[in-house]
Amino acid sequence: MRAIYFSCLEPYTDDIPLLESCWNEITASYSDQRRGYHTLAHLQHFSRQLDLCKHHLSDYPTAYLALIYHDIVYFMLDGTNEEKSALVAVDHLRRLNYPSDLINICQEMILATKTHSMNSSSDINYFIDADMSILGADKVSYAKYVAGIRKEYGDSIYFDEGRKHVLQSFLEMERIFKTDFFYKKYEEKARLNIQNEIEDLS
Protein backbone atom coordinates (compact mmCIF):
# COMPACT_ATOMS: atom_id res chain seq x y z
CA MET A 1 0.00 0.00 0.00
CA ARG A 2 2.84 2.35 0.79
CA ALA A 3 4.25 1.95 -2.71
CA ILE A 4 0.91 2.76 -4.35
CA TYR A 5 0.38 5.72 -2.01
CA PHE A 6 3.78 7.10 -2.97
CA SER A 7 3.17 6.49 -6.67
CA CYS A 8 -0.08 8.47 -6.50
CA LEU A 9 1.68 11.46 -4.97
CA GLU A 10 5.23 11.51 -6.35
CA PRO A 11 4.11 13.26 -9.61
CA TYR A 12 3.20 16.29 -7.47
CA THR A 13 5.94 16.46 -4.84
CA ASP A 14 9.59 15.61 -4.40
CA ASP A 15 9.41 16.08 -0.63
CA ILE A 16 10.07 12.47 0.36
CA PRO A 17 10.43 13.25 4.10
CA LEU A 18 6.95 14.81 4.04
CA LEU A 19 5.55 11.78 2.21
CA GLU A 20 7.15 9.52 4.80
CA SER A 21 5.75 11.64 7.63
CA CYS A 22 2.22 11.52 6.20
CA TRP A 23 2.45 7.78 5.65
CA ASN A 24 3.69 7.22 9.21
CA GLU A 25 0.72 9.21 10.53
CA ILE A 26 -1.61 7.02 8.47
CA THR A 27 -0.14 3.73 9.69
CA ALA A 28 -0.10 4.92 13.30
CA SER A 29 -3.81 5.80 13.15
CA TYR A 30 -4.87 2.48 11.65
CA SER A 31 -2.68 0.60 14.14
CA ASP A 32 -4.50 2.05 17.17
CA GLN A 33 -5.00 -0.87 19.58
CA ARG A 34 -8.67 0.02 20.05
CA ARG A 35 -9.37 -0.87 16.43
CA GLY A 36 -10.69 -4.31 15.61
CA TYR A 37 -11.91 -4.01 12.03
CA HIS A 38 -10.96 -0.55 10.77
CA THR A 39 -7.28 -1.45 10.61
CA LEU A 40 -4.53 -1.72 8.00
CA ALA A 41 -5.98 -5.14 7.15
CA HIS A 42 -9.25 -3.42 6.20
CA LEU A 43 -7.31 -1.06 3.94
CA GLN A 44 -5.60 -4.04 2.31
CA HIS A 45 -8.95 -5.73 1.67
CA PHE A 46 -10.42 -2.47 0.35
CA SER A 47 -7.36 -2.02 -1.88
CA ARG A 48 -7.78 -5.49 -3.40
CA GLN A 49 -11.45 -4.81 -4.09
CA LEU A 50 -10.72 -1.43 -5.65
CA ASP A 51 -8.11 -3.08 -7.84
CA LEU A 52 -10.78 -5.47 -9.15
CA CYS A 53 -12.77 -2.56 -10.54
CA LYS A 54 -9.79 -0.38 -11.47
CA HIS A 55 -10.66 -0.53 -15.16
CA HIS A 56 -14.06 1.06 -14.41
CA LEU A 57 -12.57 4.07 -12.60
CA SER A 58 -11.86 7.36 -14.34
CA ASP A 59 -9.40 8.41 -11.59
CA TYR A 60 -7.88 5.48 -9.73
CA PRO A 61 -5.17 7.51 -7.88
CA THR A 62 -7.71 9.83 -6.26
CA ALA A 63 -9.91 6.88 -5.31
CA TYR A 64 -6.88 5.14 -3.82
CA LEU A 65 -5.97 8.19 -1.75
CA ALA A 66 -9.56 8.40 -0.52
CA LEU A 67 -9.30 4.73 0.46
CA ILE A 68 -6.15 5.39 2.47
CA TYR A 69 -7.68 8.30 4.38
CA HIS A 70 -11.32 7.28 4.70
CA ASP A 71 -11.06 5.90 8.26
CA ILE A 72 -7.92 7.65 9.46
CA VAL A 73 -9.97 9.31 12.21
CA TYR A 74 -12.13 6.95 14.22
CA PHE A 75 -13.97 6.71 17.55
CA MET A 76 -15.47 10.22 17.31
CA LEU A 77 -18.29 10.27 19.85
CA ASP A 78 -20.22 12.87 17.85
CA GLY A 79 -20.32 10.70 14.72
CA THR A 80 -17.98 12.89 12.67
CA ASN A 81 -15.44 10.18 11.75
CA GLU A 82 -15.88 10.76 8.03
CA GLU A 83 -15.79 14.53 8.23
CA LYS A 84 -12.65 14.51 10.39
CA SER A 85 -10.99 11.91 8.15
CA ALA A 86 -11.73 14.05 5.11
CA LEU A 87 -10.13 17.06 6.80
CA VAL A 88 -6.93 15.08 7.45
CA ALA A 89 -6.88 14.04 3.79
CA VAL A 90 -7.32 17.64 2.65
CA ASP A 91 -4.53 18.82 4.96
CA HIS A 92 -2.06 16.15 3.84
CA LEU A 93 -2.87 16.41 0.15
CA ARG A 94 -2.61 20.19 0.09
CA ARG A 95 0.83 20.00 1.68
CA LEU A 96 1.79 17.37 -0.90
CA ASN A 97 0.66 19.66 -3.76
CA TYR A 98 -2.09 17.36 -4.99
CA PRO A 99 -4.38 19.26 -7.43
CA SER A 100 -7.14 21.13 -5.60
CA ASP A 101 -9.94 19.82 -7.83
CA LEU A 102 -8.83 16.26 -7.14
CA ILE A 103 -8.60 16.97 -3.41
CA ASN A 104 -12.26 18.01 -3.54
CA ILE A 105 -13.17 14.71 -5.22
CA CYS A 106 -11.17 12.77 -2.63
CA GLN A 107 -13.02 14.59 0.13
CA GLU A 108 -16.38 13.83 -1.50
CA MET A 109 -15.49 10.14 -1.73
CA ILE A 110 -14.62 9.94 1.95
CA LEU A 111 -17.83 11.71 2.97
CA ALA A 112 -19.83 9.28 0.79
CA THR A 113 -18.83 6.43 3.12
CA LYS A 114 -21.05 7.95 5.80
CA THR A 115 -24.27 6.79 4.12
CA HIS A 116 -23.15 4.55 1.23
CA SER A 117 -25.98 6.02 -0.85
CA MET A 118 -26.22 5.93 -4.63
CA ASN A 119 -24.19 8.78 -6.09
CA SER A 120 -24.20 10.55 -9.44
CA SER A 121 -20.48 9.80 -9.68
CA SER A 122 -19.65 6.34 -11.04
CA ASP A 123 -16.24 6.44 -9.33
CA ILE A 124 -17.87 7.11 -5.96
CA ASN A 125 -20.30 4.22 -6.42
CA TYR A 126 -17.43 1.82 -7.16
CA PHE A 127 -15.54 3.27 -4.19
CA ILE A 128 -18.33 2.77 -1.65
CA ASP A 129 -19.11 -0.68 -3.03
CA ALA A 130 -15.48 -1.72 -2.59
CA ASP A 131 -15.64 -0.43 0.99
CA MET A 132 -18.82 -2.47 1.65
CA SER A 133 -17.55 -5.63 -0.03
CA ILE A 134 -16.80 -7.31 3.31
CA LEU A 135 -20.56 -7.78 3.72
CA GLY A 136 -20.46 -10.32 0.89
CA ALA A 137 -17.42 -12.19 2.17
CA ASP A 138 -17.17 -15.90 2.91
CA LYS A 139 -18.38 -17.15 6.29
CA VAL A 140 -14.99 -17.11 8.02
CA SER A 141 -14.03 -13.63 6.78
CA TYR A 142 -17.44 -12.25 7.71
CA ALA A 143 -17.14 -13.71 11.21
CA LYS A 144 -13.76 -11.97 11.64
CA TYR A 145 -15.35 -8.70 10.48
CA VAL A 146 -18.17 -9.06 13.02
CA ALA A 147 -15.68 -9.84 15.81
CA GLY A 148 -13.65 -6.78 14.84
CA ILE A 149 -16.68 -4.50 14.96
CA ARG A 150 -17.61 -5.93 18.36
CA LYS A 151 -14.10 -5.22 19.65
CA GLU A 152 -14.53 -1.57 18.66
CA TYR A 153 -18.02 -1.07 20.06
CA GLY A 154 -18.98 -4.14 22.08
CA ASP A 155 -18.39 -2.54 25.47
CA SER A 156 -21.53 -0.46 24.99
CA ILE A 157 -24.71 -1.92 26.48
CA TYR A 158 -26.47 -0.58 23.39
CA PHE A 159 -24.22 -2.43 20.93
CA ASP A 160 -26.52 -5.32 20.00
CA GLU A 161 -29.55 -3.11 19.44
CA GLY A 162 -27.55 -0.52 17.53
CA ARG A 163 -25.91 -3.17 15.39
CA LYS A 164 -29.28 -4.69 14.50
CA HIS A 165 -30.52 -1.27 13.47
CA VAL A 166 -27.53 -0.76 11.16
CA LEU A 167 -27.87 -4.22 9.65
CA GLN A 168 -31.59 -3.79 9.11
CA SER A 169 -30.93 -0.51 7.30
CA PHE A 170 -28.69 -2.41 4.86
CA LEU A 171 -31.43 -4.96 4.17
CA GLU A 172 -33.93 -2.16 3.56
CA MET A 173 -31.76 -0.71 0.79
CA GLU A 174 -33.06 -1.47 -2.68
CA ARG A 175 -29.48 -2.46 -3.52
CA ILE A 176 -26.65 -2.71 -1.01
CA PHE A 177 -24.19 -2.54 -3.90
CA LYS A 178 -24.79 0.30 -6.33
CA THR A 179 -22.70 -0.91 -9.25
CA ASP A 180 -23.60 -3.92 -11.36
CA PHE A 181 -20.06 -5.24 -10.91
CA PHE A 182 -20.28 -5.53 -7.12
CA TYR A 183 -24.01 -6.26 -7.08
CA LYS A 184 -23.52 -9.43 -9.12
CA LYS A 185 -20.48 -10.40 -7.08
CA TYR A 186 -21.70 -9.84 -3.52
CA GLU A 187 -25.37 -8.80 -3.13
CA GLU A 188 -26.90 -12.23 -2.54
CA LYS A 189 -24.19 -13.36 -0.11
CA ALA A 190 -24.24 -10.02 1.72
CA ARG A 191 -27.97 -10.24 2.39
CA LEU A 192 -27.57 -13.80 3.68
CA ASN A 193 -24.66 -12.80 5.95
CA ILE A 194 -26.58 -9.83 7.33
CA GLN A 195 -29.74 -11.83 7.96
CA ASN A 196 -27.74 -14.52 9.77
CA GLU A 197 -26.03 -11.92 11.95
CA ILE A 198 -29.36 -10.33 12.85
CA GLU A 199 -30.68 -13.74 13.90
CA ASP A 200 -27.55 -14.31 16.03
CA LEU A 201 -28.16 -10.97 17.77
CA SER A 202 -31.83 -11.71 18.49
Amino acid at 31: S
What are the pLDDT tens digits along the chain (202 aa)? Answer: 999 999 999 999 999 999 999 999 999 999 999 999 999 999 999 999 999 999 999 999 999 999 999 999 999 888 899 999 999 999 999 999 999 999 999 999 999 999 999 999 999 999 999 999 999 999 999 999 999 999 998 888 899 999 999 999 999 999 999 999 999 999 999 999 999 999 999 8
Amino acid at 11: P
Q: Name all domains of the chain by residue range, CATH numbers in brackets.
A: 2-201 (1.10.3210.10)
